Structure 1
Amino acid sequence: MQNTLSKYTTKNLVLSALFTAIVAVCAQISIQIGPVPFTLQVLAIFLASLILPPKYAFLSLLVYDLLGAVGVPVFAGFTGGLSKFVGPTGGYLIAFPIAAFVTSYINTKKPIKNEAANASAALILGLVIIYTFGFLYLSWAANMTLKKAFAAGVAPFIIPDIIKLAIAYFLARAIKSRKVLNIA
């Protein structure tokens, strides 16, 4: 029994590290469109959330944040450092591990109607968590009204992020169905 448990723990730790790296790479695919850049982080975060168990999804994004906090240039534009957590995008960074955990947790529960409905609900809630932390923090950090922070930090991203959620869902299904990562 111990050997089986160790195997799955090791596998999940390795997958967590892999997703930490994937999020870091996706952060570099970035277009600055105001105080919050357009990146592919959301795609990678939600792919990790659909594949990893909740605590490992959380761990993956926590490690990403910690690497960035100590100065490893994993954040958008090859940046890092604690200053990113008090800047305009700090709320998004703080929300990433929370959203990953919640999304993975809901996704792993017995489906409400079916697997697609469960995953959709999980993904949308995760995105709402990121948006809520992000734009509230943006409002504070950039001294903006809530309306302006929403216009700058949420509104331009809604449609692209919904597309990223759909891509993450279909990629996760394809990976799981082919047992590419030996995930059942």
Structure 2
Amino acid sequence: MTAEHRSETRAQRIALVALFAALMAAFGLIPKIDLPLGVPITAQTMGVMLAGCMLGAALGFQALLLFLAAVALGLPLLSGGRGGMGVFFLPSAGYLLSYPLAAAVAGLVMRSLAGKGPSSPMRLAACAFAASVLGGIVVVHVFGVLGLMLLAKLSFVQAAVGTLVFVPGDLVKCVLVALIVHTVARGLPDWRFGGRRL
């Protein structure tokens, strides 16, 4: 690989990281639904799932880390126009802090399931659904429950039961991610889902 090609590849990776961080911000424009638990229902976990499935573990992690860094600096990128360090001390902080790791897990699962060879759009969609469930639901909710226990002072049972209200909507997001992956796989068959090697 020439130095010029390496530089081009690096620029492409930086562009993808920035693009998916911006996509997370765009999902934040969709109005949130506030719940008594102190954790709103938002569309942004779908961005976490997409970043992992589309970019892979490393770039997905970087995209969500960039997004959270921008939020920490005060940019109002979370749903409802929220931002600043204060959001990391609210009951929803566990969910937010899970985003980079959740994207990484989704990326690892996507790459593992999709394999190294070409795959049909339908198979890739099924892989994306499974990756989204493991990364975007399991990882996010484990961190969410821990955050509720630490910051909202809920018991494990209260936090676990409280987080269940998000699961049906999150499953819908997993289906939407699978549909997006299916569409991209048909239009761009060389896309490296999950960072997989072709």
Partner AA of 1:38 in structure 2: I
TM-score by length of 2: 0.83
Aligned pair in 2 of structure 1 residues 116, 171: CA closer, same or farther (>3 Å)? closer
Equivalent position of 2:184 in the other structure: 175
Instruction: Indicate yes or no: 2:174 matched with 1:165.
Output: yes
Using the TM superposition, give the Cα deviation of residue 110 of structure 1 relative to its aligned residue in structure 2, in angstroms. 5.1
Using the TM superposition, give the Cα deviation of residue 117 of structure 1 relative to its aligned residue in structure 2, in angstroms. 4.8
Equivalent position of 1:41 in the other structure: 44
5+ residue gaps, structure 1: none
Equivalent position of 1:134 in the other structure: 144
Partner AA of 2:73 in structure 1: V
Instruction: Indicate yes or no: 2:145 matched with 1:144.
Output: no
- Contact in 2 for aligned 1:28/1:39 (Cα 8 Å): no
TM-score by length of 1: 0.89
Instruction: Indicate yes or no: 2:59 matched with 1:50.
Output: no
Partner of 2:80: helix, strand, or coil? coil
Partner of 2:153: helix, strand, or coil? coil
Partner of 2:33: helix, strand, or coil? strand
5+ residue gaps, structure 2: 116-122, 193-198
Aligned-residue RMSD, C-alpha: 2.1
Q: 1-side partners of 2:85 and 2:160: how far apart?
A: 24
Partner AA of 2:16 in structure 1: L
What is the percent sequence identity of the aligned residues?
29
Q: 2-side partners of 1:175 and 1:16: how far apart?
A: 18
Equivalent position of 2:67 in the other structure: 64
Q: 2-side partners of 1:6 and 1:27: how far apart?
A: 32
Q: 1-side partners of 2:108 and 2:4: how far apart?
A: 25
Name which structure has the greater RCO, CA cutoff 8 Å, separation 6+.
2
Using the TM superposition, give the Cα deviation of residue 116 of structure 1 relative to its aligned residue in structure 2, in angstroms. 4.6
- Contact in 1 for aligned 2:56/2:106 (Cα 8 Å): no
* Cα deviation digits, residues 142-182 of structure 1 (max 9, x gap): 11122222233x211111100101101110221232129x7
Aligned length in residues = 182
Partner AA of 1:151 in structure 2: V
Aligned pair in 2 of structure 1 residues 169, 117: CA closer, same or farther (>3 Å)? closer
* Cα deviation digits, residues 34-90 of structure 1 (max 9, x gap): 311111111111112111132110010001111111111112211111121121111
Q: 1-side partners of 2:127 and 2:191: how far apart?
A: 18
Instruction: Indicate yes or no: 2:110 matched with 1:102.
Output: no
Equivalent position of 1:123 in the other structure: 132
Q: Which moved more, 1:155-164 or 1:5-14?
A: 5-14
